[in-house]
């Protein structure tokens, strides 16, 4: 398999959002210039709200004082979508991959990310699905994973956030999140009745990512 078909997976642990954004930018440039392999960053953020290109501060219902009290940081980003939450109990994935020349289709890329997450939920016995007209992955109990991406010269940044544990849900109450149907948000813990460790989702998610995107997984 040629170098463009390889995917380097990096597990970064808990990383502050600004630091993770810097890692994304450095990796994006290296992938564009052919110095690094396509990369999937997997991590967890402390409490963070991000505002996408279609959002603004009106989507944040908490006051600046309450945000500060709760230790919630706010970042404006160039990803698609409006406002979403990142925090403890979420597995966040940032694929930094070159879609050129054979996958130059933004909608296909987003649908493929959804497919990776739907398959991963199935591996845990959770029935997850797409909803026409919305971005992300849903269950009967609510939205379980959010997706927001940015693509420059067909190299992707940003990605997905999978709600694994219930503590990931509390701060959704303080925002108007994008792509939410009537069911609100949920977690793997709530959908399955079992409290998973974040590491449990990594092997099936990585395997499904490799299958859907046709990538050979490599480790540092």
CA distance 39 to 219: 10
- pLDDT attached to residue 181: 47
Q: Say if residues 176 and 83 touch (Cβ distance below 8 Å).
A: yes
Q: Structural domains in the chain?
A: 3-218 (3.30.930.10)
> What pTM did the predictor assign?
0.88
Task: Out of 178, 191, 201, 206, pick the active-site residue.
Answer: 178
CA distance 182 to 154: 34
Active site residue 178: yes
In order along its 220 residues, the chain shows pLDDT tens digits of 466 689 999 999 999 998 999 999 999 999 999 999 999 999 999 887 877 665 555 556 666 676 666 667 776 776 766 677 788 899 999 999 999 999 999 999 999 999 999 999 999 999 999 999 999 999 999 999 999 999 999 999 999 999 999 887 765 555 455 545 445 889 999 999 999 999 999 999 999 999 999 999 997 6
- pLDDT attached to residue 47: 82
- pLDDT attached to residue 1: 46
Q: Is 201 exposed, middle or buried (0-12, 13-18, 19+ CB in 10 A)?
A: buried
């Amino acid at each position: 398999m040629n170098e463009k078909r390889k995917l380097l997976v990096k597990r970064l642990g808990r990383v502050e959002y600004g630091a993770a954004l810097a890692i994304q930018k450095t990796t994006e440039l290296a992938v564009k210039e052919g110095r690094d392999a396509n990369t999937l960053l997997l991590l967890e953020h402390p409490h963070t709200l991000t505002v996408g290109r279609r959002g603004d501060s009106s989507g944040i219902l908490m006051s600046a004082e309450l945000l500060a009290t709760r230790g919630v940081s706010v970042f404006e980003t160039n990803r698609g979508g409006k406002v979403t939450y990142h925090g403890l109990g979420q597995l966040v994935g940032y694929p930094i991959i070159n879609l050129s020349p054979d996958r130059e289709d933004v909608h296909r890329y987003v649908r493929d990310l959804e497919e990776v997450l739907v398959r991963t939920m199935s591996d845990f016995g959770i029935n997850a699905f797409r909803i026409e007209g919305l971005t992300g992955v849903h269950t009967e109990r609510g939205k379980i994973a959010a997706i927001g991406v940015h693509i420059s010269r067909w190299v992707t940044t940003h990605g997905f956030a999978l709600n694994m544990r219930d503590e990931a849900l509390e701060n959704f109450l303080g925002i108007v999140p994008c792509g939410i149907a009537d069911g609100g948000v949920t977690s793997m813990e709530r959908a399955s009745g079992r409290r998973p460790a974040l590491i449990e989702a990594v092997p099936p998610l990585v395997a499904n990512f490799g299958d859907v995107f046709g990538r050979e997984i490599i480790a540092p």
